[in-house]
Amino acid sequence: MKQPQQPSRGAGAVLRALAPPPALCGFLLLLALIFTASYAVGAASGPVAPGMHGPGTSGSGGSDQQDTGDMGDMGNMGDTDMRHGSGG
């Protein structure tokens, strides 16, 4: 009896089997384009609030003062009660 021959898989068929689906490639390309466009719009619009500066820049016009992140410049808060809860 004669056995049926199985079709041989060429190099192109193997590469197609290992490659991701075209829909996934298209989605990743679209995602990269949207990210690039949003980054460009954000960079062109500048800082979110007045006085915000990137790292390494000083908003004080070249002064030697550094913003240490402490809350010492909050001004006079008067007799503010900072307790939370319903104790009094």
Residue 24 lies in domain:
18-44
CA gap 30, 76 in Å, rounded = 52
Answer yes or no: is 5 within a domain: no
Answer yes or no: is 50 within a domain: no
- Domains identified in the chain, total number: 1
Per-residue pLDDT, 57: 57
In the chain (88 residues long), the average pLDDT of successive 10-residue segments reads 65 81 95 97 84 66 54 62 62
Answer yes or no: is 60 within a domain: no
Per-residue pLDDT, 8: 62
Answer yes or no: is 30 within a domain: yes
pTM for the model stands at 0.41
CA gap 51, 23 in Å, rounded = 44
Answer yes or no: is 75 within a domain: no
Number of H-type helices and E-type strands within the chain:
2, 0
